[in-house]
């Protein structure tokens, strides 16, 4: 790998150095490749080192992507990622993962509606997932961290001076929404794996704030009147 600057002739015929650096490296097929890098030499050198990592891991793993540079790949300019896809060093899913998280959530919402889910159900589950991703500060799918999701939800459960935190059941609802979104990302080939697949919900039996009891006759009548003629949510 080497980092260098190209030269060009200006309008007066004078030789000038380009503003950006270039990285030259050998890909998985031993072909010499040149990619435009950055105006910063240090950032361009980091690009070169990580490209060498990408090639080495690709060769040793049969085409897989080095997980240690996943976050770095997410932050690359889109055109650079597209070049790596064209070379064969990066799966197309990696480019999709770099799409803004809000756009993926909007696409997921449209998919749920197309499957026949009711508008109320779709709005609820998407808003739950969005509250968690926004609350954690995630901008791209590659930034989603299971530990950060749990920290955010645990903070919502914590008591505050003015009101109590969310219940265990609500905690689980939020977590289920995020997990459902991540499963869809994988199923739609926008991601290779779910970063929250390993997370488990809480035991609702340990939260006694919503103990259940049998309905009275009057309450049962009111419930039947309120639900008469209603349409069930589609799953």
Identify whether residues 90 and 20 lie together within a single domain: yes
Burial 19-54 (b: 16+ CB within 10 A, else e): eebbbebebeeeeebebbbbeeeeebbbbbebbeeb
Tens digits of per-residue pLDDT, 87-116?
A: 988 877 666 666 789 989 999 999 999 988
pLDDT at 222: 61
pLDDT at 60: 92
Identify whether residues 55 and 110 lie together within a single domain: no
Q: Looking at residues 179-201, what average pLDDT do you find?
A: 89
pLDDT at 234: 42
Strand order in the sheet with 22-26: 2-4, 22-26, 32-36
Identify whether residues 198 and 128 lie together within a single domain: yes
Identify whether residues 134 and 44 lie together within a single domain: no
Tokens encoding 157:
């459960």
Q: Looking at residues 49-61, what average pLDDT do you find?
A: 93
Identify whether residues 37 and 74 lie together within a single domain: yes
Residue 232 maps to a domain: no
Q: Which has more confidence, 64 or 127?
A: 127
Give the start-end residues of each E strand in 18-98: 22-26, 32-36
Identify whether residues 48 and 156 lie together within a single domain: no
Identify whether residues 107 and 161 lie together within a single domain: yes
pLDDT at 219: 57
Identify whether residues 116 and 16 lie together within a single domain: no
Residue 147 maps to a domain: yes
Q: Is the pLDDT of residue 165 over 90?
A: no
Tokens encoding 137:
């500060």
| Cβ atoms < 10 Å from Cβ of 88 | 12
Identify whether residues 128 and 201 lie together within a single domain: yes
Mean pLDDT value across the chain: 84
Give the pLDDT band of residue 231 (cuts 50, 70, 90).
very low
Identify whether residues 91 and 106 lie together within a single domain: no
Identify whether residues 109 and 209 lie together within a single domain: yes
Q: Is the pLDDT of residue 37 over 80?
A: yes
pLDDT at 96: 67
| Cβ atoms < 10 Å from Cβ of 181 | 26
Which residue, of 48, 64, 97, is where some domain finishes?
Answer: 97
Cα radius of gyration (the chain):
25
- What does the alpha-carbon distance between residue 90 and residue 97 come to, in Å, rounded to a whole number? 12
Q: Looking at residues 214-220, what average pLDDT do you find?
A: 60
Domain count, the chain: 2
pLDDT at 191: 79
pLDDT at 93: 64
Residue 233 maps to a domain: no
pLDDT at 235: 42
Residue 60 maps to a domain: yes
- What does the alpha-carbon distance between residue 28 and residue 62 come to, in Å, rounded to a whole number? 10
Residue 203 maps to which CATH number?
1.10.150.130
DSSP one-letter code for 215: P
Containing structural domain, residue 93: 2-97
pLDDT at 161: 43
Q: Looking at residues 38-63, what average pLDDT do you find?
A: 93
pLDDT at 34: 94
CA dihedral 220, 226, 229, 234 (to 10 degrees): -90
Tens digits of per-residue pLDDT, 131-140?
A: 999 999 998 8
Which residue, of 49, 80, 97, is where some domain finishes?
Answer: 97
- What does the alpha-carbon distance between residue 49 and residue 11 come to, in Å, rounded to a whole number? 35
What angle separates helix 119-136 from helix 168-187, to the nearest 10 degrees? 90
pLDDT at 30: 93
Return the SS3 of 160: coil
């Amino acid at each position: 790998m080497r980092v260098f600057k190209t030269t060009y002739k200006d309008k007066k015929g004078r030789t000038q150095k380009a503003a950006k650096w270039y990285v030259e490296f050998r890909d998985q097929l031993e072909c010499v490749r040149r990619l435009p890098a950055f105006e910063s030499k240090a950032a361009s050198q980091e690009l070169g080192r990580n490209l060498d990592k990408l090639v080495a891991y690709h060769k040793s793993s049969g085409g897989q992507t080095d997980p240690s540079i996943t976050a770095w790949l997410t932050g690359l300019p889109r055109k650079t990622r597209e070049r790596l896809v064209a070379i064969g060093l990066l799966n197309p899913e990696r480019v999709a993962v770099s799409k803004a998280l809000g756009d993926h959530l909007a696409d997921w919402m449209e998919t749920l509606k197309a499957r026949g889910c009711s508008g109320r159900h779709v709005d609820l589950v998407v808003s739950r997932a969005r509250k968690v991703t926004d609350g954690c500060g995630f901008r791209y799918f590659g930034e989603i961290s299971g530990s950060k999701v749990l920290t955010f939800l645990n903070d919502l459960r914590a008591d505050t001076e003015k009101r109590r935190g969310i219940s265990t059941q609500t905690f689980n609802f939020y977590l289920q929404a995020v997990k459902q979104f991540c499963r869809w990302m994988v199923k739609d080939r926008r991601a290779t794996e779910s970063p929250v697949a390993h997370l488990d919900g809480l035991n609702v039996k340990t939260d006694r704030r919503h103990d259940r009891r049998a309905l009275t006759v009057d309450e049962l009548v009111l419930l039947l009147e309120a639900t008469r003629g209603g349409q069930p949510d589609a799953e």
